[in-house]
Amino acid sequence: MAQSGPEVTEEQKTAFLKRADEIAQLLRDAASNDTHVQVISHNDTDGLSSAGIVCMILHRLKLRFRLRIVEELTLENIREIAADQYDLFVFSDIGSGYANLINKYVTVPAIILDHHESDGTPNANFTQLNPHDFGMDGAMQISAAGVCYTVARALGGNRDLSCLSVLGALGDMQDRKGRDRALVGLNLIAVEDAKAEGLLQTGLDILVYGRESRPIHRALAYTSTPYLPDLSGREDNCLALITSIGIPIKTGDKFRTAIDLSLEEKQQILTAIIKFLPSRGVPGDAALGMIGTAYTFLNESKEHPTRDAREFSSVLNACGRMGQPSLGVSLAMGDRDVMNEVTDVVTRYRRTIATTIDWIRKNDNKIIKLDHLWAVNGGDNIMESMTGAISSIINANNLLTKDKVVIIMAKSKRGGTKMSTRAPETLLKKGIDVGAALTETTPRHQGFGGGHNVAAGAYIPSEDPASFLKDLNETLQNQLRSQVS
């Protein structure tokens, strides 16, 4: 079992880095043999950051490669992947949870760089680097991008890729422990490397989307973690709130950003939000989630959303979730000429989030409420690719419930139901593991699923999830009982 806290022992760290050294040597050998590589990665922030790291090191090793971004590994696409004529496969931020499927169909050597729990043991043909294999918590102590970065680091140099590791960890919300919302565990390897290279600066600040690149009212409107009802997605309301407390939004003809504000002004805005939220049915202290450790990439333009790490991570997530992962990988690999295209994608993404959450809040009849879970049956009203982002926002901000597992469901393009689950901290402390619960439950309904204890995803072929949800609720109940006994 992985440990539950942020502590990593020296023994665990040493063993983990030794495995990274072994994989680095495999890649050196591949380069000397002119190996043709296919990279398969996930389509969220961590996956695109991981893909950026892997592609950069393969490029620097002068290896020929092809990149494929997927939302999940299914029987159909794993067969397709396995049929491709490549000498080596590298799976990043995906693979461990599909170990049995990969074992069955992939016959050439493969490297799995992941932080999700395995659904089986990779056979002798595969080499895996995964924190869970060393007793560490992949949901908190290192992201898949961090796993990939340790391999890049083991190859020598590549410290410039440390920023992508920070992006992946923030994208997977591994900054949730502690009031200062800072990264912990093996994620600190990349943080310290990036600081040493002069690429990263950290410090406590008000965390709004676009701290340096957007006018303060617009940055506040773009902020969704925490989600602020009638402020998130509402630039007009944000402007009215800020001006109502006498804070000027311009200096001369130039709009002010969050970093232009004094400490007193930031406190005034925070106080105003705390007073505003109860009128919208949300506890005022939810606004305290706006305070935390800011991660600033010093080599990025102050005019770009790539300057603030959380904003950059959200940009990558938008690209993946809106069906434009190639834009995200291009950004991760250093291309800034795509910024205009990316801005359009992000605008659509933020609008989709705001519209979807508004729909959920207005359609209580679509919420299935059981003892240990609340599930939103979105059907065609929620984009399949957005279930993860929406469930994260709903859970992080207690928008539906603060003590139940949250499930966001959407009709899948293949038919059936796609879902993303998130567990609140209160249930994690009691032993709830939604990844294990989905891994156990979905096969009984001809589906598949899995992930972390805090966040996981699944698919079932039925468009009526009632019996599945009942089964899942019982599985969660059994987890709680086992902890008590």
Q: Which helix (H) or strand (E) holds 251?
A: strand 250-251
Which CATH number is 49's domain given?
3.90.1640.30
Query: CA 439, CA 111: separation in Å to the nearest integer?
Result: 23
Residue 254 and residue 169 share a domain: no
Q: Which domain holds residue 165?
A: 10-174
Is 59:335 a contact under the CB 8 Å cutoff? no
Residue 316 and residue 465 share a domain: no
Residue after which a domain boundary falls, among 326, 358, 390: 358
Query: CA 203, CA 185: separation in Å to the nearest integer?
Result: 18
CA angle (451 as vertex; 145, 112 as ends), nearest 5: 45
Residue with tokens 């002010």, as numbered in its chain: 256
Residue 98 and residue 221 share a domain: no
Residue after which a domain boundary falls, among 358, 392, 416: 358
How many other C-beta atoms are found inside a 10 Å radius of the C-beta of residue 259?
A: 17
Residue 374 and residue 344 share a domain: no
In a domain, 325, yes or no: yes
Query: CA 265, CA 209: separation in Å to the nearest integer?
Result: 17
Residue 368 and residue 350 share a domain: no
In a domain, 179, yes or no: no
- The 8 Å CB, 24+ separation contacts for 482-485 are 482/431, 483/430, 483/431
436 three-class SS: helix
Query: CA 436, CA 421: separation in Å to the nearest integer?
Result: 12
Residue 247 and residue 154 share a domain: no
Residue 341 and residue 369 share a domain: no
In a domain, 182, yes or no: no
Give which of 356, 348, 310, 349 is closest to 182, Cα–Cα: 310
Give which of 142, 300, 318 is closest to 328, Cα–Cα: 318
Give 362: exposed, middle or buried? Use CB within 10 Å, 0-12, 13-18, 19+. Answer: exposed
Is 457:451 a contact under the CB 8 Å cutoff? yes
Residue 296 and residue 325 share a domain: yes
pTM for the structure as a whole: 0.88
155 three-class SS: coil
Query: CA 413, CA 103: separation in Å to the nearest integer?
Result: 27
> What pLDDT was estimated at residue 119?
80
Number of domains within the chain: 3
Which amino acid, one-letter code, is at 451? G
In a domain, 192, yes or no: no
Give which of 160, 133, 48 is closest to 93, Cα–Cα: 48
Residue 411 and residue 343 share a domain: no
Q: What are the per-10-residue average pLDDT scores of the chain (485 residues)?
A: 64 97 98 96 97 98 97 89 94 92 92 91 90 93 98 97 98 83 95 98 92 91 84 92 96 94 95 94 86 95 92 94 96 95 92 91 94 96 94 86 94 94 91 93 93 91 95 96 74
What sign results for the dihedral spanned by CA atoms 302, 169, 110, 74? negative
Query: CA 443, CA 292: separation in Å to the nearest integer?
Result: 40
Q: Which helix (H) or strand (E) holds 151?
A: helix 144-154
In a domain, 71, yes or no: yes
In a domain, 406, yes or no: yes
Residue 160 and residue 220 share a domain: no
In a domain, 196, yes or no: no
Residue 53 and residue 164 share a domain: yes
Which CATH number is 468's domain given?
3.10.310.40
369 three-class SS: strand
> What pLDDT was estimated at residue 255?
95
Residue 156 and residue 129 share a domain: yes
- CA–CA distance from 211 to each of 167, 214, 219, 248, 258 (Å)? 16, 7, 7, 16, 5
Query: CA 173, CA 428: separation in Å to the nearest integer?
Result: 15
In a domain, 199, yes or no: no
Residue after which a domain boundary falls, among 121, 152, 174: 174
